[in-house]
Each structure stands twice: as structure tokens, then as C-alpha cells.
């Protein structure tokens, strides 16, 4: 019995050391202060970017409260500032609305708009001009959502989807299926609502999932389109200035979407995707604080420039949570033991690439300091060590600024 007790204590000690070693070495590099990680002082102490030969310094003048640069094909995160910081998303949340509802209705189906469809459109909302009693194709409504960020079009589509509250609940479920844990949906159109929050990480996940749908990719890449009115048609222009090339900006080289937003509470928000030399990058920027005109677009553009110079050189700091397409256009977490390849639609020209999901687990503590990470790792190690000891014993017994988008 004494020998058994001694063996049990030895096994527990070995298990604790082994698990602690695994836990500590699994802490993301940013939790350590060793060489190889560059933490630029100017953008803020919560910036993470891996140093590697040939990787340029991050651009100057980054004032956003949160941002992230990622490779849409591989899911690699190249650099980020507080990517899990929960902030109001404004109309960038419409990407989640589209991922949730767009696959359900044929583009050519027609909806006659009722008064009930337009109930509850918030004061000051951006509108595309949907009118009660008129008939609209679903494709026209989606163009109203993506180009003009029309909350009136969102309300009609949400009515088709079972109602406003039901759509918000379904969007919340979709976010969780995609592995987006920072998002709380209160209003499907992104209108300022108490408690409605998302993050640069989650918005990037939504955009990446959306770009795998050719219809989503085509809508978000459209710079201008014709929209029906009672008097005929009118021309609508995308409020994404980086795409449309408006308000003193030229279209960003290789731009393929995705969505911009603005509310008083959220400030300016933007998810931008661009493709060059066979690489598709995603940049999400939330609430620049510089006050500079077109700040959200300029900061996104500079981050895209940095990303294209760095991709293939920078060691990823993290990876987007693994996702794959599921039946009826829905999405789900893919098994971590498998890599899944799926087509990445890239806009109106019909060119395609691929999204390769990755097996690395997402770091949900990127903005936490090393002490917190070490403490959490220690607790996890202890719990696993105790579990290992119990299993060993059982085994032994068995054996014996100004608006820059929309509102």
C-alpha cells in the first residue's frame, strides 16, 4: 500500500509537470516578452505582430480602437490590436445578417412590401428608398443592403425571414456556430442598440464566411447599381468609399468589398477585403480616433498595404477559428483534426481562390497580459493534472469623426 501511494504521488507530480509544460508552451507568443515580437509603441501596447526577416514596420498613424489583418485563404492572423475588444459594430453587422439570411431566398423572388415590413426603422437610419406597396426582387433588396446599407431593406428581408426578433436570435446562433464569441446581436441592421457589440475578430469571421458565398461576394463588390422606384429606376452608389472611389478617395487596388458602417455610438467601422497576386486579405478597423477625414479608409488601406508586403513572411500570431460550409448555406465549426478547403468567391469577375481552414485554435485572450495568461494556464494545468491522476488511479484499480459611411 505504501508503494502504491508513493507511485500515485509520483504519477501525479509527473502529470502536473507534463501538463504545465504543455500549457505554458501553448500560451501565445504575445504573452511572453522574449525576442521576436515587435510591440510598436505608437499604435498602442496591445498591438501584436510577429517580427520576421523582410516584414516591414506597421504603418504610422493607426488610431483605431481595434483592428486586425488576416489572410482570408489560410485564416492566418498577421497583426492585430485588441481584436477581441467588444465594440458597437454599426452596419458592419449586416455581414452577419447576410451570412444568416441571404442563402434562404432566391435572388429572383419578389416581395410586395407591407407597412408591417417597414415598422421599427430607426430614426436617422440609412435608407435605400423601399416603399410600402411596391414590389421588389430579393436581389434588389440585397443591393440596397450592401450598397446603401439600407435599414429599410434589412427590415423587409428580416420580415421574410420570420421577423425582427427571430432574425436577431438566428444571427446570434450563426455567430456562435462560426466561433464568434464576442458578438451580441440586438438589432439585425446594426442600428445603435444597448448591449449590441462585436469585435474586429468576429467581424472578420463573418466577412470570411460571407465571401465563400458567390452571391455575397458579388453584392459586396458592387460599386454601383440600378434600384427600382415608383418612377422607374435610380442609380445607387456603394457607401464604401474604398470600393466606390468617392469623397476624395480612389478605389483601393484589388478591392473586393466588404462593408462599412457608421453610427454616433460606434463611430466609423469597416471590413475591407482585397486580392492581389493570388492572396486575399481581410482588414477590419473599428472606430479610428484621429479625427482625420476618411480615417477609417486610410487606416484600412495602410494595413492592407502592410499585409500584402508581409504575407508569406510574417509568422502568424494566431488563426481564425476553423469553419466550413454546412447544409443550406449555413456554417459550422469544422473538426480540428481535419483541414477543409472551400471556394472563395471574389466578386463580379467570377475569379475564385480557396479558403483553407486551419487547425490552430483561436486565441481569445490576445489583449490580456502575460500574468493573466500564465495564471489561466496554471489553473488549466492543475485541473488537467488532477484529472490525469484520477484517471491513472482508476486505471491502476482496473488493472489492479464625421460620418464616413452610413447610419
Q: What does the pLDDT look like over 208-222, one tens digit per residue? A: 999 999 999 999 999
Q: CA 382 to CA 175: how far, in whole Å?
A: 32
Q: Which residues contact 196 (CB under 8 A, 6 or more apart)?
A: 88, 89, 93, 184, 185, 186, 187, 190
The lowest-confidence range among 232-246, 274-288, 320-334 is: 320-334
Mean of pLDDT values over 165-188? 98
- For the chain, what percent of residues have pLDDT higher than 90? 66
Mean of pLDDT values over 278-307? 98
According to DSSP, the residues that pair with 236 across neighbouring strands are 225
- For residue 407, the SS3 value is coil
Which class for 360: exposed (0-12), middle (13-18), buried (19 or more C-beta within 10 A)?
middle
- Residue of 176, 160, 179, 174 lying closest to 94 (CA atoms): 174
Mean of pLDDT values over 298-306? 98
Q: Which residues contact 289 (CB under 8 A, 6 or more apart)?
A: 63, 64, 65, 267
Residue 149 is among the residues annotated as catalytic for this protein: yes
Q: At what angle do helices 164-177 and 94-101 cross, to 10 degrees?
A: 90
pLDDT digits (tens, 9 = 90+) for 24-39: 222 232 322 223 333 3
| β-pairing verdict for 255-263 and 232-237 | unpaired
Q: How confident is the model at residue 352 (pLDDT cuts 50, 70, 90)?
A: very low
**183 backbone φψ class: left, alpha, beta (φ>0; ψ -120 to 50):** beta
Element (H, E) at 144: helix 138-148
Q: Are 364 and 181 in contact (CB under 8 A)?
A: yes
Q: Which one of the listed residues 63, 66, 126, 149 is annotated catalytic? A: 149
Element (H, E) at 378: helix 370-398
Kindly tell me if the per-residue pLDDT of 353 is higher than 90.
Answer: no
Mean of pLDDT values over 309-338? 61
Q: Are 2 and 8 in contact (CB under 8 A)?
A: no
Give alpha helix (H) positions in 178-294.
Answer: 200-211, 214-220, 241-244
Kindly tell me if the per-residue pLDDT of 63 is higher than 80.
Answer: yes
Region(s) of the chain under CATH 3.40.710.10: 44-356
pLDDT at residue 390, as a whole number: 39
- For the chain, what percent of residues have pLDDT higher than 70? 68
- Residue of 231, 236, 199, 233 lying closest to 219 (CA atoms): 236
Residue 81 is among the residues annotated as catalytic for this protein: no
- Residue of 79, 34, 31 lying closest to 56 (CA atoms): 79
Q: Which one of the listed residues 94, 125, 298, 310 is annotated catalytic? A: 94
Mean of pLDDT values over 51-78? 95
Residue 313 is among the residues annotated as catalytic for this protein: no
Q: CB 110: neighbour CB atoms within 10 A?
A: 11
The yes/no answer on whether domain 44-356 falls in CATH 3.50.50.60 is: no
pLDDT at residue 50, as a whole number: 83
Q: CA 368 to CA 372: how far, in whole Å?
A: 6
Kindly tell me if the per-residue pLDDT of 296 is higher than 70.
Answer: yes
Q: Which one of the listed residues 63, 66, 91, 187 is annotated catalytic? A: 91
The lowest-confidence range among 110-114, 205-209, 329-333 is: 329-333
Mean of pLDDT values over 127-148? 98
Q: CA 30 to CA 47: how far, in whole Å?
A: 9
Amino acid at each position: 500500500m505504501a508503494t502504491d501511494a508513493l507511485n500515485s504521488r509520483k504519477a501525479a507530480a509527473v502529470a502536473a509537470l507534463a501538463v504545465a509544460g504543455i500549457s505554458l508552451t501553448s500560451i501565445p507568443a504575445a504573452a511572453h516578452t522574449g525576442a521576436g515580437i515587435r510591440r510598436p509603441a505608437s499604435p498602442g501596447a496591445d498591438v501584436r505582430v510577429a517580427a520576421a526577416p523582410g516584414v516591414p514596420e506597421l504603418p504610422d498613424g493607426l488610431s483605431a480602437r481595434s483592428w486586425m489583418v488576416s489572410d482570408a485563404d489560410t485564416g492566418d492572423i498577421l497583426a492585430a490590436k485588441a481584436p477581441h475588444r467588444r465594440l458597437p459594430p454599426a452596419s458592419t453587422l449586416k455581414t452577419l445578417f447576410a451570412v444568416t439570411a441571404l442563402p434562404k431566398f432566391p435572388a429572383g423572388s419578389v416581395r410586395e412590401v407591407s407597412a408591417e415590413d417597414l415598422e421599427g426603422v430607426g430614426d436617422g437610419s440609412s435608407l435605400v428608398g423601399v416603399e410600402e406597396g411596391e414590389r421588389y426582387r430579393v436581389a434588389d433588396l440585397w443591393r440596397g443592403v450592401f450598397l446603401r446599407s439600407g435599414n429599410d431593406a434589412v427590415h423587409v428581408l428580416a420580415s421574410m425571414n420570420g421577423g425582427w426578433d427571430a432574425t436577431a436570435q438566428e444571427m446570434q446562433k450563426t455567430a456562435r456556430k462560426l466561433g464568434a464569441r464576442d458578438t451580441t446581436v440586438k438589432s439585425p441592421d446594426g442600428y445603435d442598440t444597448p448591449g449590441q457589440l462585436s469585435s474586429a475578430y468576429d467581424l472578420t469571421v463573418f466577412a470570411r464566411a460571407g465571401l465563400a458565398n458567390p452571391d455575397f461576394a458579388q453584392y459586396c463588390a458592387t460599386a454601383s447599381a440600378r434600384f427600382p422606384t415608383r418612377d422607374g429606376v435610380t442609380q445607387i452608389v456603394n457607401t464604401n468609399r474604398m470600393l466606390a472611389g468617392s469623397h476624395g478617395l480612389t478605389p483601393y487596388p484589388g478591392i473586393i468589398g466588404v462593408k462599412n458602417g457608421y453610427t454616433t455610438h460606434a463611430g466609423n467601422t469597416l471590413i475591407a477585403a482585397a486580392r492581389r497576386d493570388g492572396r486575399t486579405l481581410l482588414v477590419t478597423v473599428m472606430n479610428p480616433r484621429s479625427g482625420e477625414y476618411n480615417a477609417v479608409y486610410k487606416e484600412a488601406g495602410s494595413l492592407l498595404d502592410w499585409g500584402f508586403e508581409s504575407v508569406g513572411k510574417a509568422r502568424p500570431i494566431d488563426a481564425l477559428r476553423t469553419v466550413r460550409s454546412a447544409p443550406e448555406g449555413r456554417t459550422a465549426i469544422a473538426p480540428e483534426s481535419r483541414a477543409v478547403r472551400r471556394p472563395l468567391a471574389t466578386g463580379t469577375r467570377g475569379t475564385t481562390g480557396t479558403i483553407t481552414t486551419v487547425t490552430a485554435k483561436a486565441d481569445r485572450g490576445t489583449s490580456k497580459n502575460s500574468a493573466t495568461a500564465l495564471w489561466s494556464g496554471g489553473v488549466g494545468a492543475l485541473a488537467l493534472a488532477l484529472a490525469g491522476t484520477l484517471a491513472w488511479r482508476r486505471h491502476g484499480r482496473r488493472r489492479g469623426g464625421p460620418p464616413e459611411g452610413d447610419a
